[in-house]
A and B are shown apart, each in its own frame.
Chain A
Amino acid sequence: MSERVRVRTMAPPGHVRAPYYLRGKVGEIERPLGAFKNPEQLAYGLDAEKKALFRVRFTMAEVWGERAERPDDTLDAELYEHWLERL
């Protein structure tokens, strides 16, 4: 059974890699991708720590609600662990 996660709704300033349109949306982990240096720190030349990265799959219905073009089409995005809340 896939693991369900919610994208955190925080809105920090600066370089972030969680697209705004996915904040607060619930998806399932499609696969873990390993750990990578956090690009949100690398962008400022900081000594970035490694963060776990996941591919998370959302339904279009979850992302766009009633405006979804086709509710059961999907959208996958790469999201870092600090952006995800496990459900």
Chain B
Amino acid sequence: MPHDHHDHHHDGLSASGHPFRSDNDEALTYWQRMEIAARELLIEKGIVTPAEVAAQIDAMDARSPANGAAVVARAWTDPAFKDRLLANGSDACREMGFDVGALHLVVVENTEAVHNLIVCTLCSCYPRTLLGLPPDWYKTRAYRSRAVIEPRKVLREFGLDLPDHVTVRVHDSTADMRYLVLPARPAGTDGMDEAALAALVTRDSMIGTGLPRQP
């Protein structure tokens, strides 16, 4: 019985009625041991310092969909930037201080006639510079296989029921490109500035599994 605080001895449930999670004390996996061994060797040999490792993890954790939202809002307000973004996503993002590194960014535009959806069927390629870490569902076999087989059904499960006149274009991120969806600018946003527009841009709208918020 959820949230029943009269009795704190439900079988396997916490006082608030939720199941206890088992402790995470199983043995390290092969790859966890490899990571620790390689990291300790790099530190012992003076190639990196523990502070540098911590700083890099912090930098990776700090990346979030706010970066991508800033890019989208700029494209909505600056037609010349939008042209550059669609022509060469990596260079345009670099202008804004977002470096996608050795990978190349392809930006695909949603219009009244086209809706784009991004997936990586082979693994979980994702534009982390712009969106941070991928959501767990993006890495599941269910999303990776179904997004290419039945994208419209998947989109309906995300709450997005596309009209018949819209063509769906699925992009399978199989090699050196990363993909960002440029969602269509919502109606009723004419007077809004870049910062206010960026607040409408959701992570899912840049993957293609959602639309921006309405103002």
Contacts and interface: CB of A to CB of B under 8 A. Distances in A.
A74 B121 contact: no
A84 interface: no
B184 interface: no
B202 to A, nearest CB: 23
B10 interface: no
Interface in A54-87: 55, 63-64, 67, 69-70, 72-80
B122 interface: yes
A44 interface: no
Contact of A55 (B151, B152, B177): B177
B100 to A, nearest CB: 14
Interface residues of B, number: 21
Nearest to B153: A69
Contacts of A5: none
Instruction: Give the size range of A's interface with the partner.
Output: 20 to 34
Given A21-B148, A69-B150, A70-B152, A75 B170 contact: yes
Nearest to A54: B175
B173 interface: yes
B207 to A, nearest CB: 15
A39 interface: yes
Give the interface SS of chain B, mostly helix, strand, loop or mixed.
mixed
Contacts, number: 64
A76 B170 contact: yes
B174 A18 contact: yes
B168 to A, nearest CB: 4
A13 interface: no
B174 A73 contact: no
B177 A64 contact: no
Interface string B171-193: 11111110000000000000000
Contacts of B174: 17-19, 77-79
Given A69-B150, A69-B151, A69-B152, A17 B175 contact: yes
